[in-house]
Amino acid sequence: MKNIGVILAGGSGRRLGSELPKQFIVIAGKTVLAHTLHTFEKHERIDEIILVVHKDYIKETEEIVRLEGFQKVKHIVPGGKERYHSTLAALNVYKDEPCHLIIHDAVRLLVTSRIIDHVIEALESHAACTAAIPSTDTILQSDTSRQFVDNIPDRSTLFQVQTPQGFHSDILTEAYNKALSDPEFFSTDDCGVVKRYLPETPIKITQGLPFNIKLTYKEDLSIIERLLLSELK
């Protein structure tokens, strides 16, 4: 089964608030997208890559791929309004070709080969998995006003979800087919779709890393730049 790296880069970066979507910002001499692509391109078990980008940035993305000489990028497709629409755009490309999909946020540019390894290994025995890290903070759940504590779950069972998330394509397709017939459907990650619509499917937790952070706010930029330039990665 081929391992396909699915790089989701179709967002607008509203929370970061820069002129360019955050995946096109340059940090330490390269665009965020190029840093992420570099790690997937050089991973020996990633067979090919599909890039999902906003339709207005396809030309720009093609140029990055050409200039950086990424050979594994086989498709660049337009995404959709929400993250899950962008996942669906990639799923559609592989609908007739069963494969392993390793879905990653373009803006987690500090992802390492080891993190990808763990996901690919998990797919040998599980149909769905996600990189995650154990929560070090105690997590509270608020009431709907978001002003009062409703619950403090047992921390030993809590993790922070990262990407990549890995799937056998048939399972993810089945989960999304069910999700799309649910008028209430919304999701912030792809494992959530499997958990909700195919609850009997075990989802393996694989080892993420604390610095595999998602570039979300302006404050993240300098932290990520320092990590990129340090020996940590």
Ligand X SMILES: C[C@](O)(CO)[C@H](O)COP(=O)(O)O
Residue numbers of the site for ligand CTP (CB under 6 A)?
8-15, 21, 23, 52, 79-83, 85-86, 105-107, 214, 216
Residues 68, 134: Cα–Cα separation, whole Å: 35
- The interface partner of residue 189, options being ligand X, ligand CTP, none and the CB cut-off 5 to 8 Å by kind, is ligand X
Residues touching ligand X, count (CB under 6 A): 8
Instruction: Confirm or reject binding of residue 41 to ligand X (CB under 6 A).
Output: no
CB 120 within 8 A of CB 102: yes
Residue 223 has φ and ψ, to the nearest 5°, of -65, -45
Residue 83 binding ligand X, by CB under 6 A: yes
- Say how far apart CA 128 and CA 132 lie, in whole Å: 13
H helices of 46-156, in order, are: 58-68, 83-93, 113-122
Q: Report the residue number, 4 or 8, with the smaller CB distance to ligand CTP.
A: 8
Rounded to the nearest whole angstrom, what is the least distance from the CB of residue 201 to ligand X in the complex? 18
**Nearer to ligand CTP (CB atom), residue 161 or residue 198:** 161
The entry of ligand CTP, ligand X, none that residue 8 binds, CB within 5 to 8 Å by partner kind: ligand CTP
Binding status of residue 189 toward ligand X by CB under 6 A: yes
**What does 36 bind: ligand CTP, ligand X, none (CB cut-off 5 to 8 Å by kind)?**
none
By CB atoms closer than 10 A (0-12, 13-18, 19+), residue 121 is middle
- State the CB neighbour count (10 A cutoff) for residue 143: 10
- Helix (DSSP H) and strand (DSSP E) numbers for the chain: 7, 11
Window 161-180: contact mask with ligand X (x via CB under 6 A): xxx-----------------
Nearer to ligand CTP, 163 or 201 (CB): 163
- Residue 204, H or E segment: strand 203-207
Q: How many whole angstroms separate alpha carbon 35 and alpha carbon 28?
A: 9
From the list ligand CTP, ligand X, none, which binds 12 (C-beta under 5 to 8 Å, kind-based)?
ligand CTP
We find the least distance from the C-beta atom of residue 129 to ligand X, in angstroms, to be 13
Among 38, 72, 178, 214, binds ligand X (CB under 6 A): 214
1 vs 28 by CB, closer to ligand CTP: 28
- CA-based nearest residue to 11, from 3, 23, 29, 28: 23
Pairing relation of β-strands 73-78 and 48-53? parallel
- Residue 36 or 163: the one with the smaller Cβ distance to ligand X is 163
Q: Which does 174 bind (CB under 5 to 8 A by kind): ligand X, ligand CTP, none?
A: none
Counting every residue written for the chain, the total comes to: 233
CB of 209 to ligand X, least distance (A): 13
